[in-house]
Amino acid sequence: MIFNKYLNLFFPLQNYDFTNIDRYLSEKEILNCHSRLKKLTIEQSRYLESIYVMSNYTNKIVFDLIKRSKYNNEWKICDVFAYSIYYKIFVNGEIFIPDPQVLIPVPADFSRFIQRGYNVPSCICKVLSKKINIPVIDIFIKKRNTISQNKLDKKSRLNNLNNVFKINQDIKYNFSNIEIVWIVDDVSTTGTTLLECAKTIKKSFPYLKIYGIVISSN
């Protein structure tokens, strides 16, 4: 496409020397990502069924792509993240997670969204939604800007995100027939962000079974 040609001109897809899907990740590189279920704390297990991690921080290729998608305006990388989740869970069946009925992205700070023009988890959800024919609902609002979690210690992370999310009452949704929800984020260190999102939605819909889905974690 002509648009992609000019997009590549301004935001070149630099992924070293491999021949790969969309010139970002090859099928072999996706398979080499060691996906797993993150161990939950006692509190997390009250709100989350599990957290699926597609790759570890030690995977330099994926971690570099995450940084580029967040800070270099290379939003097309999100397509490959969505494809990777789809491939590893739905095609390759590496780890069983119940199919979602709704995809919910973790929201970005308003200031970061304005600066980038997009939200990485939302972009991932939109592409994944088309692959599995499941709706995306941007149900969360972030009430205030926060410090990046990776800059804080464990205690500060909890305080940083305490009561930071709320339900967007302007969004039309019906969860009466919904049981399984995936909350999608790009990075999770301690799982605090996913926990706070799950707490928020459980206040209104305590019967939901919530699964966290992230691209990378420690």
Query: C-alpha angle with apex 50: 44 to 53, nearest 5 degrees?
Result: 110
What the block records as the tokens of 173 is 């949704």
What are the sequence ranges of the domains in the chain? 18-217
pLDDT for the residue 33: 86
pLDDT, position 21: 44
**CA 124 → CA 61, 97, 98, distances in Å?**
18, 18, 18
**For residue 14, what pLDDT band results from cuts at 50, 70 and 90?**
very low
What number does CATH give the domain 18-217? Answer: 3.40.50
Give the contacts of 129 (CB within 8 A, at least 6 positions apart): 103, 135, 136
Select the more confidently predicted residue: 214 or 28.
Answer: 214
Name 180's bridge partners: 209
What's the full length of the chain, in residues? 218
Q: What is the Cα–Cα distance from 12 to 14, expressed in whole angstroms?
A: 6
* pLDDT for 212 beyond 60: yes
Separation between Cα atoms, residue 176 and residue 1, nearest integer Å: 41
pLDDT, tens digit (0-9, with 9 covering 90-100), for 98-119: 999 999 999 988 888 888 889 9
As to burial, measured by CB atoms within 10 angstroms (0-12 exposed, 13-18 middle, 19+ buried), residue 2 is: exposed
Distance (Å, whole) CA 141 – CA 162: 14
Q: Whole-number mean pLDDT of the chain?
A: 84
